[in-house]
Amino acid sequence: MRLPSASKLDMYAACDGPWFLPMPPEPPPSGAAAEKGKAIHAHMEKGTIPSGAGRTDVERAILAESDLPPWEPIEGVPARELVVRWNPETNEAQIVGAYDANPRPWPDREGWIYGIADLTGRSGSHLLVSDLKTGSVEWLTMPWDGWQTKWLTAVVHKALKWESNAYACIVSSEAQRAWCQEWTPLNLEFALDFWSTRWRAVAAGQRYIKVGSHRSEERRVGK
């Protein structure tokens, strides 16, 4: 059974088809927007600003991060590009480490759901987990609406055995601002319970297939 990455959780939540569809033989080539996003993430991770092309993009990302609640690093936890994983069968959450030391492809992908937290720290007694988005504002999914940031926060919270509340945040370089949602430990445990339940249902052979908009359009026009 195919397990999602954190960035694919919204798609898997909407339809069980992706759980058992075969992987493509090769990933599709990334477009200009994706390459731009990778470059911004790389500079944010290293704390650098390009001198030429891309300087404005990185400066906008830095300005957007300044909208986060005040935070500081957690001792022993990489603040940038933190790879985490969670096992839906055992409910075990683990900190894998910094991305530059743990590049894709992830090991043990069949048993674990992996994700990358762009920024991880503490804000007072709160855990803070942030996801940097570099695309168009109209495509943003707020931390209270989507699964990616909430799941990342829940896994980091569980792996660190954090006892107090957490901030799950989305940072938009295009909007030059951040949005945060506060979650309690119980909220975050419920989020992981949802995915454990969903995983067990799919593993038991239950299927919920939602027809996509492109298929609906084909049927409407008689294709």
DSSP state letters, 106-122: PTTTTT-EEEEEEEEEE
Residue 72: Cβ-neighbour burial (10 angstroms; 0-12, 13-18, 19+): exposed
State the pTM of this model.
0.88
Which residues does residue 129 pair with via DSSP β-bridges, in sequence order? 120, 168
- The token pair at 103 is 């590049």
State the residue for tokens 């799950």.
168
Give the Cα separation of 6 and 147 in Å (integer).
8
CA distances from 186 to 58, 92, 122, 189 (A): 36, 16, 19, 5
Give the Cα separation of 164 and 171 in Å (integer).
22
Query: Digits of tens for pLDDT over the chain (223 positions)?
Result: 889 999 999 999 999 988 988 877 776 777 888 888 888 888 888 889 988 888 999 999 999 999 999 999 999 999 999 999 999 999 999 999 999 888 888 777 779 999 999 999 999 999 999 999 998 898 899 999 999 999 999 999 999 999 999 999 999 999 999 999 999 999 999 999 999 999 999 999 888 877 765 444 333 333 3
Give the Cα separation of 162 and 156 in Å (integer).
8
| 166 dihedral zone (left: phi>0; alpha: psi -120 to 50; beta) | beta
Give the Cα separation of 42 and 47 in Å (integer).
8
Residue ranges of the alpha helices (H) in the chain?
A: 9-14, 17-20, 32-46, 55-65, 148-159, 185-203, 213-220
Give the Cα separation of 46 and 119 in Å (integer).
12
Give the Cα separation of 97 and 175 in Å (integer).
29
